[in-house]
Amino acid sequence: GAVVSQHPSRVICKSGTSVKIECRSLDFQATTMFWYRQFPKKSLMLMATSNEGSKATYEQGVEKDKFLINHASLTLSTLTVTSAHPEDSSFYICSASPGQGGTEAFFGQGTRLTVV
């Protein structure tokens, strides 16, 4: 079946540095991908919609300058956490689907970001 691959699975960075997370659709083209954030023992929260060839759409309360999204090709979206701080530590997950509501969605393995 279709697979969405996310990299890295785990990253530790120092406060003030930036971290880039990649999300790839391996066997289908994804004009749209989605980024979620998940805190411990909480559910997934949609952060933004990544649109190939255009600007990302951010959910209310998500800082677009803090979480930079680039969707440069039909199979790759990147999320860059800029000037990371300890409160940005979280589990970040991307998703993509080859279709609409009647199609299954595929999620990446997730990236555990720890900012020290």
Partner 1 sequence: DAKTTQPNSMESNEEEPVHLPCNHSTISGTDYIHWYRQLPSQGPEYVIHGLTSNVNNRMASLAIAEDRKSSTLILHRATLRDAAVYYCILSSGTNAGKSTFGDGTTLTVKP
Residues engaged in binding partner 1 (CB under 8 A): 4, 6, 30, 32-34, 36, 43-46, 49, 91, 93, 95-97, 99-110, 112
Between the alpha carbon of residue 107 and those of residues 15, 22, 93, the distances in Å are 28, 13, 7
Instruction: Return the number of the residue (14 or 100) whose C-beta is nearest partner 1.
Output: 100
Q: Give the integer Cα–Cα distance in Å for 41 and 72.
A: 33
* Beta carbons within 8 Å of 21's beta carbon, 6+ residues apart: 6, 7, 8, 11, 78, 79, 80, 81, 92, 94, 111, 113
> Shortest approach of partner 1 to residue 76 CB, angstroms?
15
Residue 17: closest CA among 112, 81, 108:
81
Give the residue with the Cβ less far from partner 1, 86 or 101.
101
User: Which one, 82 or 89, has the nearer CB to partner 1?
Assistant: 89
Q: How far is the CB of 72 from partner 1 (least distance, A)?
A: 18
Closer by beta carbon to partner 1, 2 or else 68:
2
Shortest distance (Å) from residue 59 CB to partner 1: 10
